[in-house]
Structure 1
Amino acid sequence: MSRDARTGPTSRRVTPTARRGAVRPTPSARPATQQAGTPTPGEGLVVGPVPPGARVAGVLLVLAALAGVAAAFPTYLVVGGQDLSAVDGFGSALVALLVPGVHLAVGGALLRGAVPKFGLAYAGVAGALGVGQLLIELYHGSSSTTRPAVEVLAGERVLTSGVEAAPGWVLGVVALGLTVLAGVVAIWSWGRTVMEDGGALDSVRSGLAGSAVLLGVTAVLCLSLPSSDVPDELVTDPATGLETVVTQEGPRALLERPGLALLGGLLLAGAVVLCSVIAPSLRPRLAVVGGLLGVTVVVLGAALTGVRDAASSGELEWTLPGAGLLVAGLAYAALTALAWRLRRGRS
């Protein structure tokens, strides 16, 4: 009886022709969506096309940075015939250039389309905080003479009985206006920007959020009081020899000013807390870093301004709220660095 070729041992063999004709999967045969979404090792970061609005926000941040740099060196305001400038030495120059420097770096990265949601989160937070700062600056240059009082402007204790706007103030207002506009464009572009990761922060978001909220409340409490103030004088009565403490009029607290300054202070305080709540909830991880960086720069800039005022004026001394604000700014910086370092996602 002959053996059927289909049932014999040769029926399981694969001929060389069949091998050569077999379809082997190649990287090019994968779906386009899988190619575009291939995660990088550890991070799992996926970046889609960058919308034009994100690049526009980057351009506005760069312009705000250039205006802020230009505003640091000319005369800021003329108060009672005295020219005030924000920069009078190397240390004050570093303080004045802190915010514009970070704006320039983040805006340049956003303009190039690199990690867009990092830049958009930073621009959105900076714009939200810039609204209150803008109103306070408008008060200093235009409305502070309505109710004259002692203020600390550019490190000098002055009486705002007569204030004239100077180029430094105008450029500063332009810089803040561009920052606010960049924030509006960034918020508008957020939902149109595709950027995701492997969820490196998912397990620690609650801890980050709690720490950020605590720092936000602390920063607001410290911002509500002057970072530098005039110390009380101890006066001795020559007739009786009794010593009396005489309180000198010093700079007003953030929420003690009227009009635009009061509204700006309320908006700034609310924005610090709100941004501290929102930033840790953003996705991906680099967006959290950008949001926290935006809060860090504003709080740390305000704290260092208080240090500069106390160091440059013999009439002023650094206060406990000023020291607390500096600690809060450094803690924000540490929280931002922590979010940056947690780059390993769960496999």
Structure 2
Amino acid sequence: MSTRDDRARTVRTGSTARRGAGASAPDASAAGAGDRVVIGTVPPAVRLCGLLLVLAGLAGVLAAVPTYLVVGGEELRQVRGVGGALATLLGPAVHLAVGATLLRLAVPKFGLAYAAVAGALAVGELLIELYRGSSSTARPGVEVLAGERVLTSSVQLGAGWVLGVVALVLTVLAGVVGAAAWGRTVMEDRGPLDPIRSVLAGAAVLLGVVAVLSLALPAADVPEQLRIDPATGMRVVVMQEGPQALLERPGLALLGGLLLAGTLLLCAVLAPSLRPRLAAVGGLLAVAVTVLRAGLAGVRDAASSDELVWTVPGAGLVLAGLGLLGLTAVAWRVRRTAA
């Protein structure tokens, strides 16, 4: 780079320093400096991406307060107790934090990778939400919404649902802007993650498969009941209608479920290969938050309703989410031991 507008910044572990104009990559003096990141051109679209993420986070936080949906005359809210707050606010809180780093232009490819992956995953979630609010009465069935087991005979929109959809739309837009700004953003490091990328990718694929298989079944379900047949006096198993599985729903919900499952697996494969190291951290963080949110929603549903029990797929989602968070932490900590 040769202009003042394209001045590069060198960021070391725990410190930030300015370099002179014309610097766009680490030089020979960085050989023993540990994990050093060089930041060059940062287009204005990076701040726009951060703003969209912050707005998505704020909309997600606000969506937790008012009525979510009115189903069969019963008002539903997303937050009921500590578990409900954690499941509902985890994603918006991370959006706010990552969006703030983009607004400050700090380690931009970390935030751009997070935004691109989160935006891709939000497409499937958006279609599922649109089905819940607009098409679920076309084929009424038992559903678990905001921790309540309900029959979708009639559905009225609440402000919480509208704000939630706005948050998802803003997340998708942030992902589009982040992907567009990726190629024009200069950020490089010395490759401290390269020796373990294949191991991270293998572990992420395994956890992604577990998450996809777990998503195919309800995270909280209605248990079977043992009853005594009055005619024979024998114990019989009575099956009860439970919530619809992700891929059992029609229309937009089925399309959204397929997109979510496919995108989740694809992002789990691609995230560890992103460069520099902090971009891989951002991508893995977005996948981990999405999976963990789905798992915590199952915990919330089982804890808040006497009719529901936590299922093995629900536990699988939580374990997969925690495992992906562990991979994110490993990718983050590699900087400590960089040669």
Matched, 1:296 2:288: yes
Deviation at 1:44, TM superposition (A): 2.2
> TM-score, normalized by length of structure 1?
0.89
User: 1:43-58 residue pairs with structure 2 within 5 A?
Assistant: 43-58=35-50
User: 1:33-48 residue pairs with structure 2 within 5 A?
Assistant: 33-34=22-23, 37=26, 39=30, 41-48=33-40
Which of 201, 216, 230 is matched with 1:209 structurally? 201
Which of 169, 176, 197 is matched with 1:177 structurally? 169
Deviation at 1:35, TM superposition (A): 8.1
Partner of 2:7: none
Deviation at 1:171, TM superposition (A): 0.2
The change in CA–CA distance for 1:317 and 1:109 in structure 2 (over 3 A counts) is: same
Deviation at 1:239, TM superposition (A): 2.9
Partner of 1:121: 113
Moved more, 230-239 or 169-178: 230-239
Matched, 1:244 2:244: no
Deviation at 1:242, TM superposition (A): 1.1
Partner of 1:284: 276
Matched, 1:103 2:95: yes
Deviation at 1:67, TM superposition (A): 0.3
Which of 124, 129, 135 is matched with 1:132 structurally? 124
Partner of 1:235: 227
Residues 157-208 of structure 1: CA deviation (Å, up to 9, x unaligned) = 0000100011000000000000000000000000000000000011111111
Deviation at 1:41, TM superposition (A): 2.2
Residues 211-252 of structure 1: CA deviation (Å, up to 9, x unaligned) = 111111110000110000000111111232111111100001
Distance (whole Å) between structure 2 residues aligned to residue 34 and residue 245 of structure 1: 72
Partner of 2:156: 164
Corresponding residue SS for 1:334:
helix
Corresponding residue SS for 1:283:
coil
Q: Which amino acid aligns with 2:332?
A: W
Moved more, 308-317 or 44-53: 44-53
Does the 8 Å CA contact 2:83/2:296 hold for their aligned counterparts?
no
Q: Which amino acid aligns with 2:249?
A: R
Distance (whole Å) between structure 1 residues aligned to residue 25 and residue 221 of structure 2: 57
Q: Which amino acid aligns with 1:69?
A: V
Partner of 1:191: 183
Corresponding residue SS for 1:208:
helix
Does the 8 Å CA contact 2:220/2:298 hold for their aligned counterparts?
yes
Deviation at 1:56, TM superposition (A): 0.5
User: 1:290-329 residue pairs with structure 2 within 5 A?
Assistant: 290-329=282-321
Distance (whole Å) between structure 1 residues aligned to residue 322 and residue 20 of structure 2: 46
> TM-score, normalized by length of structure 2?
0.91
Q: Which amino acid aligns with 1:240?
A: T
Corresponding residue SS for 1:145:
coil
Matched, 1:143 2:135: yes
Corresponding residue SS for 1:200:
coil
Distance (whole Å) between structure 2 residues aligned to residue 35 and residue 260 of structure 1: 46
Does the 8 Å CA contact 2:86/2:296 hold for their aligned counterparts?
no
Distance (whole Å) between structure 1 residues aligned to residue 168 and residue 320 of structure 2: 23
Distance (whole Å) between structure 1 residues aligned to residue 162 and residue 24 of structure 2: 50
Distance (whole Å) between structure 1 residues aligned to residue 190 and residue 84 of structure 2: 42
Partner of 2:333: 341
Deviation at 1:344, TM superposition (A): 4.8
Distance (whole Å) between structure 2 residues aligned to residue 130 and residue 90 of structure 1: 24
Does the 8 Å CA contact 1:199/1:345 hold for their aligned counterparts?
no
Does the 8 Å CA contact 1:145/1:162 hold for their aligned counterparts?
yes
Matched, 1:332 2:324: yes
Q: Which amino acid aligns with 1:264?
A: G
Name stretches of at least 5 consecutive residues in structure 2 with no aligned partner: 1-18
Name stretches of at least 5 consecutive residues in structure 1 with no aligned partner: 1-29
Does the 8 Å CA contact 2:26/2:190 hold for their aligned counterparts?
no
Matched, 1:65 2:57: yes
Corresponding residue SS for 2:45:
helix
Distance (whole Å) between structure 2 residues aligned to residue 206 and residue 193 of structure 1: 25
Distance (whole Å) between structure 2 residues aligned to residue 296 and residue 131 of structure 1: 16
Distance (whole Å) between structure 2 residues aligned to residue 345 and residue 319 of structure 1: 40
Corresponding residue SS for 2:75:
strand
Q: Which amino acid aligns with 1:213?
A: V
Identity of aligned residues (%): 69
Aligned alpha-carbon RMSD (Å):
1.5
The change in CA–CA distance for 1:49 and 1:175 in structure 2 (over 3 A counts) is: same
Distance (whole Å) between structure 2 residues aligned to residue 238 and residue 252 of structure 1: 31
Residues 289-347 of structure 1: CA deviation (Å, up to 9, x unaligned) = 00000000000000000000000000000001111111100000100000000015765
